[in-house]
Amino acid sequence: MKYTSDFLVIGSGIAGLSFALKAARYGTVNIVTKKERSDTSTNLAQGGIASVLGQDDSIDLHIQDTLTSGDGLCHEDAVQLVVSEGPDRIRELLDLGVEFTHEHGGDGLELGREGGHSRRRIVHAQDMTGQAVEKALLARAAAEENIAFYENHIIIDLITQFKLYRRGAVTTMSDESCWGAYALDISNSVVKAFLGRVVVLCTGGSGKVYRFTSNPDIATGDGVATGYRAGAVVANMEFVQFHPTCLFNAKVKNFLISEAVRGEGGRLIDARGRAFMSEYHELKDLAFRDIVARAIDTELKRSGDECVYLDITHRSAGFIKERFPNIHGRCLELGVDITREPMPVVPAAHYQCGGLLTDTRARTNIRYLYALGEVACTGLHGANRLASNSLLEALVLADRAIQPAAADLEYRRAKPLPDVPDWDPGGAENSDEAVVISHNWGEIRRCMWNYVGIVRSTSRLTKAKRRISNIQEEIEEFYWNYLVTADLIELRNLTTVAELIIESALSRKESRGLHYTLDYPFKDDAQFRRDTIFRTGEK
C-alpha cells in the first residue's frame, strides 16, 4: 500500500504541526503519527515558551543566558536566530488562538521565570502550556483541506535513493536523498509506504531509553534511529538532560513538576527540611538544570534517601492553585496537598539535546530530509538546554524550514515519484516470543539508568557498551526473522539510541554541561569544545 503527498511530516507535536500548517500553502501534507494526533511530548509540556517580551528584558540577555547554559557548545548563529525570531512566533500563536495566561488587570502576557533565566520571559498557559498550544494547532490543522492525518502508524525505516538503488527500483545513485518512509499501521499490522517529495522528521526525543523519565511512552528515539540507519549525521547524543523534579510516587511514572514552581519561589529541601542548593550554586534553586540534577543526585547518594522535596508552601494557597492548577490537582489526587506539604521529587530523563544534525533551515545532510524539534540538533542547546527554549526552537525552525522546503518541492515536482516496492517481509514469521521483547526492553532501560545516567565513569560506560551490544545482536536477529510489531520497532530504535549515547559519552573525555564523568571531572576546551559527530551507512 502506498500513500503519496508533497510533504510527508512524521510526528504531530508543535514542530510537525507548525511546519504542516505553513507547508499546506504550497502542497498536500500527510502527517504520520505513532498514536493519536494529540499524544505528543508537546501536549505534556507544562512550563512554557521562552521569549523576549518584558520591558526589562532584551535579545542580548536571552542570548547570553542560552550560551551560558550551553556551556561553550552552542552554535551562536542558531542562538541568535532562535532568540531573535521568537517574539514573532509567539504573536503567531496568539493569532492562532492559543490562550496564554495574561497579567491580572492588564492586556500583557504574564511572564514566568525558570532556572538559568536572568529575567521573567516564560510565556505560559498556567501550567498546561503545551496542551494549549497543541489544541490550537490541531484545530487549525483539522480545518485545512491539504492536511491528512494517519494516526497509529509507526515508521520502520526511511526510503532513500540508496535503498531503492540497492533493490533495483531506480537505476542511478545521482544523490543521497530521501523519498519517504515505510510505516506499520498498528491497528492491522499492515506495512505501508508513505512517499513525499519533502520528508520532515518531527518524532521527538528518546527519554524511554531510561528507566525513569518525564517523557510519554512514545519517546523511543524513532527519528534519530531511522535517520542514523539511513546515513544522517548525528551529533551530541551524550547530552541527555535530566529534569531535576519529577514527582516521586508509586502511582505515577512520569509526572513532571514544572521548573516554574522553583521560578515562583519553590525550594529544594532534604528529608530533614534542609535547603541545600546554596551549597552548589549561587543561583540556588534557579541554577541550570544540569547543576540542580547533579546536586539532587549527590544528596540522595550521600543520605541514602529515595527522594528530596520541593517546597512552595510559603506561597499562598490561592496563588498556588491559580498558577499551578494542573500540578496542584494531580498531586491532590495522589494524596499530596502542595499548599500544605512539600512534594517528593527525583530527577528523570527529560530532554535529548543531541539528535540529527541540521543547519538553521532544518536540513539534514540527506537531501530533502528535514528534522525539527527534539529529534534535531541545531546547535541551540549546546551541552545543556536552557529551560523553555525547546518549544521556541520548534516554532522558529519550522518557520525557517518552509522556504527551502517549498523550493525543494518545486524542483522535485518536475520529476516523477519513484516506483517504490512494497514492504518485503521475506521469510519472516509471527513470533510467540514476546518475552524476548519485554525482557530486553527492561534490561536496556535499567542498564542506561544505572551506568549512563547523571554521573558517569569510563568503567560504567564500558559495561553498558558491552551489554547494549549483546542486546543489539539479539534484537537484530529477531528483527530479520520475525514479522515487525510496534514493540519490536521501538526496541530496535532504543538499542540504536542507547548505542549512540554510550559511544558519544565515551568519546568525550571531559565534563561539560549534562555530561559529567568521574574520570574527567574538568572541562577541556582545547580538546572538546566541539560537537560529537557520528554517522553510518545504511544497515
List active site positions.
289
Contact (Cβ atoms closer than 8 angstroms) between residue 14 and residue 96:
no
Strands (DSSP E) found in 338-414: 343-352, 355-357, 369-371, 376-377
As given in the structure block, the three cell numbers for residue 182 are 515505510
> What angle do the packed helices 129-142 and 14-23 form, to 10 degrees?
30
Q: Which residue has the cell 520528508?
A: 199
Give the count of beta carbons closer than 10 Å to the beta carbon of residue 280.
Answer: 18
264, 307, 318, 411, 482 from 324: Cα distances, Å: 10, 22, 10, 49, 47
- CA R_g for the chain: 23
As given in the structure block, the three cell numbers for residue 503 are 559511544
Closest alpha carbon to 391 in 69, 115, 40: 40
Strands (DSSP E) found in 109-189: 111-112, 122-123, 147-150, 153-160, 178-185
As given in the structure block, the three cell numbers for residue 521 are 571531572
Q: From CA 392, how far away is CA 351, in angstroms rounded?
A: 14
Q: From CA 452, how far away is CA 497, in angstroms rounded?
A: 12
Residues in the chain: 539
